Structure 1
Amino acid sequence: MKVDKRLFQALAQFWNLTYSCFPFGKVDLVPTIEEYMALLRCSRIQVDIIYSKVVNVPTFSRKLMNITGMSEQWVTARIKQKGDSRCIPWKNLIDLILVHPDTKKKIDIFALSIYGMVVFPKALGHIDEAVTDLFDQLDKRVTPVPVILAETFRTPNACRRAGEGRFIGYAQLLLAWLYSHFWKVDNVSYRVFSKSYSLLKEIVTTPRRDDISEEKWMVIFQNLQEEDIEWRALWLLPDEILYRCRDFDWVPLLGI
């Protein structure tokens, strides 16, 4: 999915540091765990355990050895220091993917690369140590959604405070969420029940203009009316976060 940089830069300027949300006119919006789980089709398993501190955490080298199936000497020789983080270059991993005899290890290494370069792209061209911490937990049935969402919140906060910076987080997912709330889409309520339906695949194949300037996006956001915004994404299935109050359906709850 192509990231519209001008749209993204305009969106970042609407991030509210105090309340951690995007205020558009009279409507405040923010991605939720439930929405990101629906977008990524993640099952609701052990939502909060991702932040629990594990006893006897393996070293970076040991985790890379477990994921890649390579020797300690191979791993140690390729670990680099990038700023305050230890990393392994993507080039070393792609070379390994091409020649690795174990098909499962090939897939694991490729998946680790996606997490490091698309979901959490901290060091350009490198896979950060923190990504291996998360990846090491995935086979234990731990969902990555809270971590993805936390990075999505933390980056605009840091960038707004500093007045500059690079977005570290799943930019494509944030834009997919944005499109679902602002631009009118076909009602997909009957399709979301299908296991084969993927909103992200649909968004990727939907043609969009990419010639709009950042200034024009700012004007669009500033002039949004309440009726232009869908506070509840049409593809979000009714769940425990959505309630009825007397005869009124879909009553928005206070706070995030």
Structure 2
Amino acid sequence: MIRFWDPAYQCFTFNQEDMTPTIEEYAALLRVNNVQPYKIYVKEPKPLTFKKMLVRLTDMADAWAEKQIKKKNETICIPWSSLRDLVLNHPDMLKRVNLFALAIYGLVIFQKVLGHLEVAVVDLFERLKQGINPVPTILVETLRSLSSCRRKREGRFIGCAQLLNVWILSHFWKVERTPFHMFSKTFAPLEAYLEKEWPKEVTEQHWVSVFQNLRAEDITWRAPWIRHSVLLYRVGDQDWVPLLGLWGGMGYAPLLVQR
């Protein structure tokens, strides 16, 4: 997919068709409901230290937290192995659930350091209880990583590849034939659908051929899972919206991406 990404316009160009994930689509896919939609993540001027965040999340001692903190390529993080036993055995069930959710954010959604949870991800996770909307942050890091890999023609995609995969399949492979309520509790029906409809051996050449020959009639422009809601199309009198991520920001032009 990176081969078809245009960093200048922040969109995919498949043959003659342009498309890009939107905030509304990602919000629907992630089922982000119990948040304040316009309360976005911004780093605190003086955030808690990483050690204090870990102590608050785990209820472990300062000495334990300090021992777990590692430095990987100038990135401060904690190994997943340090939290795995707590997820399985912590006496507080709510702590177990929270740490498991944190692992999803650190290992799947923002996988900057493989097998580790980065300090910025922990800070974002700590702020979720304040009702912030994580969707713009997730989207901007996806778009920034696509642009970085495309410009350098190398590197590893830092973002939720699974989420991007579900987004693109829902637009290209006519998933609307399968009722959306089937996907409400588990991805198992989606996996079963893809196993039935999808070729057994999907090569990179197959993907490239599909993308290069895509036509407008091959695309489902409005995915079946998108809900009716207010669309963000400008901020005040500005057509460009600044989106802030964990490790940087970018401009987002809703009028260019809404179709």
TM-score if structure 1 supplies the norm length?
0.83
User: Residue 30 of structure 1 aligns with which residue?
Assistant: 20
- SS of alignment partner, residue 176 of structure 2: coil
Identity %: 44
The amino acid that maps onto 2:256 is: G
Aligned residues: 234
* SS state at 2:159 partner: coil
Partner residue, 1:255: 256
Cα pair 1:188 1:235 within 8 Å, conserved: no
1:68-97 deviation line (CA, Å, top 9, x unaligned): 111111000110001121011111111222
Q: Bigger CA drift: 130-139 or 212-221? A: 212-221
Gaps of 5+ in 1: 1-10, 244-252
Give a deviation string over 1:150-182, Cα, whole Å, max 9, x none. Answer: 111011111111111111111100000001100
Work out which of the residue numbers 169, 180, 183 in structure 1 matches 2:173.
183
Mapped to 1, the partners of 2:127 and 2:200 lie a distance apart of 37
Residues 80 and 87 of structure 1 are in contact (CA less than 8 Å); yes or no, is this contact kept in structure 2?
yes
Deviations along 1:159-209, whole A, 9 cap, x unmatched? 1111111111111000000011001123567x56x9x83585542332133
- Opposite residue 203 of structure 1, the aligned amino acid is L
Matches within 5 A, 1:53-132: 53-132=43-122
More displaced stretch, 44-53 vs 108-117: 44-53
Given candidates 21, 33, 48, the residue that maps to 2:11 is: 21
Identify the residue that residue 213 of structure 1 maps to in structure 2: 203
Q: Which 4+ stretches in 1 moved above 6 angstroms?
A: none
Show the counterpart of 1:204.
191
With the length of structure 2 as denominator, give the TM-score of the two structures.
Answer: 0.82
Superposition deviation, residue 23 in structure 1: 1.2
Q: Any idea what SS the aligned residue of 2:4 has? A: coil
Partner-residue secondary structure (3-state), 1:51: coil
Contact 2:79 2:116 survives alignment (8 Å):
yes
**Cα 1:241–1:187 shift into 2, 3 Å:** farther
Task: Note the aligned Cα RMSD (angstroms).
Answer: 2.4
CA contact (8 A) 1:176 1:203 kept: no
Deviations 1:3-40 (A, max 9, x none): xxxxxxxx111001110101123321111110011111
1:155-170 alignment runs, 5 A limit: 155-170=145-160
Mark the CA change 1:176 to 1:21 in structure 2 (over 3 Å): closer, same or farther.
same
TM-superposed deviation, 1:143: 2.2
- 1:197 partner amino acid: S
Instruction: Give me the whole-angstrom Cα distance separating, in 1, the residues matched to 2:78 and 2:209.
Output: 42
Q: CA deviation at 1:99?
A: 2.9
Query: SS at 1:139's partner residue?
Result: helix
Q: Which residue of 2 aligns with 1:142?
A: 132
Give the drift of 1:117: 0.6
Aligned to 1:186, what secondary structure does the other structure show?
helix
**Aligned partner (choices 25, 41, 55) of residue 51 of structure 1:** 41
Distance in 2 separating the partners of 1:205 and 1:115: 25
Distance 1:184 1:98, change over 3 A: closer
For the residues of structure 1 that align with 2:10 and 2:185, how far apart are their CA atoms? 28
Report the Cα distance in structure 2 between the residues aligned to 1:81 and 1:47, rounded to whole angstroms: 34
